[in-house]
Amino acid sequence: MTVEISTVAKVAKLSRIKVDDETLPELARDFNAILGFIEQLREVDVTKIEPMVSVSPMTLKIRDDSVNDGDKQRQILVNAPDTREGFFAVPKVVE
């Protein structure tokens, strides 16, 4: 199976990564090398084998249903590139 340049452009879009048109062919080559490598998984007989969910068998712990954290507006915003009046600021969103 070969991945087309248009597929790579679509995946870049889904990944929210801007890729210039001139880099697409090189990226498609890398994609095909990697996908060619993982293609061999198809030959493995996995009849009656469940996909792994957790590598070590465990039951998730349940904690008390109570508030144990919060009031951290300053800490949450302190690393943001742009904030206004206690909120994250982003470019205008027009749908």
Partner 1 sequence: MSELNKLTVSEARELLRKKQITSQEITKACLAEIESASVLNAFVCSTADIALDRAKAADKRIEKGDAPSMCGIPIGIKDLFCTKGITTQAASRILQGFKPEYESTVTQNLQDDGVVMLGKLNMDEFAMGSSNENSCYGNVINPWRCRHDARLLTPGGSSGGSAAAVSASLCLAAIGTDTGGSIRQPASFTGITGIKPTYGRCSRWGIVAFASSLDQAGPMTKSVRDAAIMLESMCGHDPKDSTSHDLPVPNFESALTNDIRGKTVGIPIEYRTEGMPEEIEEQWARGRQILKDNGAKIKDISLPHTKYALPVYYVIAPAEASSNLSRYDGVRYGYRAVLNEMDGISEMYEKTRAEGFGAEVKRRVMIGTYVLSAGFYDAYYNQARRVRSLIKKDFFDVFDQGVDAILTPTTPSAAFEIGQMSTVDPVQMYLNDIFTVTVNLAGLPGISVPIGTNSQGLPLGLQLIGHPWEEGALLNFAYVLEQEAGFSGQPTKWW
- Can residue 80 be called a binding residue for partner 1 (CB under 8 A)? yes
Does 85 bind partner 1 (CB under 8 A)? Our answer is: no
Q: Provide CB contacts within 8 A for 39, sequence distance 6+.
A: 1
Contact between 2 and partner 1 by CB under 8 A: the answer reads no
Binding flag, residue 67, partner 1 (CB under 8 A): no
CA 24 – CA 29 distance, rounded (Å): 9
Residue number, 14 or 67, with CB nearest to partner 1 = 14
**How many Å apart are CA 93 and CA 95, to the nearest integer?**
6
Under the binding rule (CB under 8 A), the answer on residue 55 touching partner 1 is yes
CA 11 – CA 76 distance, rounded (Å): 31
Q: Which of residues 8-37 bind partner 1 (CB under 8 A)?
A: 8, 11-19, 27, 29-31, 33-35, 37
User: Site for partner 1 (CB under 8 A): which residue of 40, 66, 85, 86?
Assistant: 40
51: tokens are: 């996909």
CA dihedral 44, 50, 55, 61 (to 10 degrees): 170
Residue of 21, 49, 85, 86 interacting with partner 1 (CB under 8 A)? 49
